[in-house]
């Protein structure tokens, strides 16, 4: 009963009195297994290349990628999401390097698989933007528009070479209509029915992907507004969700995470498949930049962003801080 006399009848502060008390009543927990590390691997380098807009993140060489995978596994991280960065000379209009069995991503999948086997879930970005000389996520038609159905054919091939290389999960991220269904079909056709699909269900055309473009040395001029979603839309994500599930998505993802927690919460409420969120390059860069200036407490801010994403309903979080946070949580 609430008493408005001399004493408050209800005192929520009682449950906040000590760290042990707060820990006990915490509604949201964050553990190493909730985290997935996105990692970039660059073709033709023997030393890792720093990414200026993402301090602390590098374009790995194959060698340092293997080490990063081992480190992530040792810290208890669940998975690693691989992005290939081909040499400029290997980019073309069709993104051929993306379907070359000896393309950088396929080589990286095999290298990580050889190193950690099944102890880390190996995931791969299934998209053409890293491999096309125009930087779009698909192939272009005669008028320079991204051709949805021609792109689907490329994605089907990509799925097969990535699966052949040994990946456990593919992540189609190009936002083409029908991509999940086509990828599922392509995998099943070659007997890779155990390879799972993490569908980028709600992927917004976001300024927060900015630093990623440097990370993958993107050739993109212009934007992706004809295929990625308008930040103004929420119901549209529910439509994308229904389609992805119908087409066979095993897990669904919302991306970016922080500015789209409402989308995440709604998606998480609606489904019974695992839900992931991708804390993207710009979300990372903002915290790192503010911390570098001494304007924010870096470690507390990182945990707060991740806790918020979990609270909103994400079971798994892709974050560039995965290994570091997992190591700290274990202590």
Catalytic residues: 203, 255
Task: Write a three-state SS string for the chain.
Answer: CCCCCCCCCCCHHHHHCCHHHHHHHCCCCCCHHHEEEEEEEECCCCCCEECCCCCCCEEECHHHHHHHHHHHHHHCCCEEEEEEECCHHHCECCCHHHCCCCCHHHHHHHHHHHHHCCCCEEEEEECCCCCECCCCCCCECCCCCECHHHHHHHHHHHHHHHHHHCCCEEEECCCCCCHHHHHHHHHHHCCCCCCEEEEEEEEECCHHHHHHHHHCCCCCCCCCCCCCECCCCCHHHHHHHHHHHHHCCCEEEEECCHHHHHHHHHHHHHCCCCEEEECCHHHHHHHHHHHHCCCCCHHHHHHHHHHHHHHCCCCEEECCCHHHHHHHHHC
Residue with Cβ nearer ligand PBG (155 or 209): 209
- Nearest approach, Cβ of residue 73 and ligand PBG (Å): 21
Cis peptide upstream of residue 221 (ω within 30 degrees of 0): no
When asked if residue 127 is in the footprint of ligand PBG (CB under 6 A), the reply is yes
- Pick the closer one to ligand PBG by CB: 53 or 115: 53
Name the closest residue to ligand PBG (Cβ): 212
Count of chain residues binding ligand PBG (CB under 6 A): 10
Closest CA to 248 of 140, 170, 144: 170
Measured from the CB atom, is 175 or 241 closer to ligand PBG? Answer: 175
Q: How far is the CB of 53 from ligand PBG (least distance, A)?
A: 10
105, 98 contact by CB (below 8 A): yes
62-70, 110-118, 123-131, 261-269 -> range binding ligand PBG (CB under 6 A): 123-131
Cα separation, 75 vs 304, in Å, equals: 20
Q: Which residue has the tokens 């980028």?
A: 200
Site string for ligand PBG, 200-239 (x = CB under 6 A): ---------x--x-----------x---------------
Single out the segment in contact with ligand PBG by CB under 6 A; choices: 8-16, 124-132, 141-149, 179-187. Answer: 124-132
Contact region for ligand PBG (CB under 6 A) — 121-129, 157-165, 267-275, 309-317? 121-129
Answer for which of 132, 281, 305, 323 binds ligand PBG (CB under 6 A) is 281
Mark 130-149 with x for binding to ligand PBG (rule: CB under 6 A) and - for no binding.
Answer: -------x------------
Q: Which of 173, 179, 201, 305 binds ligand PBG (CB under 6 A)?
A: 173
Within positions 90 to 109, which residues make up the interface with ligand PBG, using CB under 6 A? none
Indicate whether 129 belongs to the interface with ligand PBG (CB under 6 A).
Answer: yes
From 115, 125, 240, 288, residue interacting with ligand PBG (rule: CB under 6 A): 125
Cβ distance to ligand PBG smaller for residue 125 or 147: 125
Single out the segment in contact with ligand PBG by CB under 6 A; choices: 16-24, 28-36, 125-133, 296-304: 125-133
Binding site for ligand PBG (CB under 6 A): 125, 127, 129, 137, 173, 209, 212, 224, 280-281
């Amino acid at each position: 009963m609430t008493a408005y006399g001399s004493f408050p009848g209800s005192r929520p502060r009682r449950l906040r009195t000590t760290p042990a008390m707060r820990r006990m009543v915490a509604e949201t927990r964050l553990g190493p297994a909730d985290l997935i590390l996105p990692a970039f691997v660059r073709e033709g380098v023997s030393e890792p290349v720093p990414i200026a807009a993402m301090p602390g993140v590098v374009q790995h060489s194959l060698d340092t990628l293997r080490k990063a995978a081992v480190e992530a596994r040792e810290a208890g991280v669940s998975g690693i999401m691989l992005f290939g960065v081909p040499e400029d000379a290997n980019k073309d209009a069709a993104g051929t390097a993306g379907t070359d069995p000896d393309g950088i991503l396929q080589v990286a999948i095999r290298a990580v698989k050889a190193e950690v086997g099944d102890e880390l879930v190996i995931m791969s970005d299934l998209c053409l933007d890293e491999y096309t000389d125009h930087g779009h996520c698909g192939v272009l038609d005669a008028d320079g528009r991204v051709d949805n159905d021609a792109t689907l054919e490329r994605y089907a091939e990509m799925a097969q070479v990535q699966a052949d290389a040994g990946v456990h999960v593919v992540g189609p991220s190009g936002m083409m209509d029908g991509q999940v269904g086509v990828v599922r079909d392509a995998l099943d056709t070659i007997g890779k029915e155990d390879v799972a699909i993490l569908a980028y269900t709600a992927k917004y055309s976001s300024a927060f992907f900015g630093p990623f473009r440097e990370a993958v040395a993107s050739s993109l001029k212009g934007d992706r507004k004809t295929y990625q979603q308008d930040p103004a839309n929420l119901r549209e994500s529910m439509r994308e969700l229904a389609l992805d599930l119908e087409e066979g998505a095993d897990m669904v993802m919302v991306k970016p995470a922080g500015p789209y927690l409402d989308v995440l919460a709604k998606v998480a409420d609606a489904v019974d498949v695992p839900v992931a969120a991708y804390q993207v390059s710009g979300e990372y860069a903002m915290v790192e930049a503010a911390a570098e200036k001494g304007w924010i407490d870096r470690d507390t801010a990182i945990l707060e962003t991740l806790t918020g994403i979990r609270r909103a309903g994400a079971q798994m979080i892709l974050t560039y801080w995965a290994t570091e946070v997992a190591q700290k949580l274990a202590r």
